[in-house]
């Protein structure tokens, strides 16, 4: 179990380093072009997801996301105690990853975001984004397990662009990004509704996956 938790910690930390670090770099290099900055942020996030899922998947299952862990718990594939340990490590490691990104770019380590991300459209987008992510994972595991790293990386890269919220789709990521007043940030007061919608999306994906990907 310690190996699994270490893998979850390393993977989630590097995910946030990728998300926040690439956001800082993108905004620095393209301060007047949000579209280019978002493209760079999306590509970097998809790329780091491919890497961390590939190398840590065989160890911990490469959740890096409480919504994914929640989905596996609903499917009975992880126990409650282990799921809670995964979630605790994911949240802590995500915050550490944000602080590491700040340190690399010589920013104040401890921050809170002022970027407003709220409203019914964004909340609904988080349901869609998380539903699609979890469904992608379960479908990949069912039919092409070796392709899951690429599937997840590509899905999130695309979802940055086709969802109004830019696809957080991850409670640990959402909490951590609340502690970064940079391109990837989210005002901490807007975090809770995002997380609630993400869990709804994950639960819906479990239900749909059970029907669509049922074994013959």
Q: How far apart are CA 66 and CA 43, in angstroms?
A: 22
Instruction: Please check whether residue 150 lies inside any domain of the structure.
Output: yes
**How far, rounded to the nearest angstrom, does the alpha carbon of residue 127 sit from its chain's CA centroid?**
13
Helix (H) or strand (E) holding 26, with range, is helix 2-29
The predicted structure's pLDDT at residue 215: 74
Instruction: Please check whether residue 38 lies inside any domain of the structure.
Output: yes
Contact 198, 171 (CB under 8 A): yes
Confidence of residue 209 (pLDDT cuts 50, 70, 90): very high
Instruction: Please check whether residue 157 lies inside any domain of the structure.
Output: yes
Check pLDDT > 80 for residue 164: yes
Instruction: Please check whether residue 215 lies inside any domain of the structure.
Output: no
Q: How far apart are CA 213 and CA 216, in angstroms?
A: 9
Instruction: Please check whether residue 193 lies inside any domain of the structure.
Output: yes
Contact 201, 134 (CB under 8 A): yes
Question: What is the mean predicted confidence (pLDDT) over 130-154?
Answer: 97
Structural domain including 118 reads 2-208
Percent of the chain with pLDDT over 90: 99
pLDDT per residue as tens digits for the range 91-130: 999 999 999 999 999 999 999 999 999 999 999 999 999 9
Query: Which CATH number belongs to the domain containing residue 29 in this structure?
Result: 1.20.1080.10
Q: Which residue shows structure tokens 């595991």?
A: 141
User: Which residues lie below 8 Å from residue 62, measured CB to CB, with a gap of 6+?
Assistant: 7, 11, 52, 53, 56, 148, 149
| Helices 80-104 & 2-29 angle (0-180, nearest 10) | 30
Least confidently predicted of 92-106, 163-177, 202-216 = 202-216
What is the pTM for the complete model shown?
Answer: 0.95
Q: How far apart are CA 202 and CA 9, in angstroms?
A: 21
Confidence of residue 214 (pLDDT cuts 50, 70, 90): confident
Q: What is the mean pLDDT of the chain?
A: 97
pLDDT per residue as tens digits for the range 26-55: 999 999 999 999 999 999 999 999 999 999
The predicted structure's pLDDT at residue 216: 61
Instruction: Please check whether residue 213 lies inside any domain of the structure.
Output: no
The predicted structure's pLDDT at residue 137: 98
Instruction: Please check whether residue 214 lies inside any domain of the structure.
Output: no
Split into its structural domains, the chain has a count of 1
Instruction: Please check whether residue 179 lies inside any domain of the structure.
Output: yes
């Amino acid at each position: 179990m310690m190996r699994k938790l270490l893998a979850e910690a390393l993977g989630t930390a590097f995910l946030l380093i990728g998300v926040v670090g690439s956001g800082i770099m993108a905004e620095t290099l393209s301060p007047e072009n949000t579209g280019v900055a978002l493209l760079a942020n999306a590509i970097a996030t998809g790329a780091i997801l491919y890497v961390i899922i590939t190398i840590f998947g065989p160890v911990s299952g490469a959740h890096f996301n409480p919504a994914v862990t929640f989905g596996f718990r609903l499917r009975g594939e992880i126990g409650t105690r282990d799921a809670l340990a995964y979630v605790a490590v994911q949240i802590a490691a995500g915050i550490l990853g944000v602080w590491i990104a700040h340190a690399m770019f010589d920013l104040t380590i401890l921050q809170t975001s002022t970027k407003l991300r709220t409203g019914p459209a964004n909340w609904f987008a988080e349901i869609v984004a998380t539903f699609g992510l979890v469904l992608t994972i379960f479908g990949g595991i069912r039919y092409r397990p070796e392709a899951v790293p690429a599937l997840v990386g590509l899905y999130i890269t695309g979802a940055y662009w086709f969802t109004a919220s830019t696809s957080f789709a991850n409670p640990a990521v959402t909490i951590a990004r609340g502690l970064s007043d940079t391109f990837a940030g989210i005002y901490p007061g807007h975090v809770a509704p995002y997380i609630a919608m993400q869990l709804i999306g994950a639960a819906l994906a479990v239900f749909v996956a059970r029907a669509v990907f049922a074994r013959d």
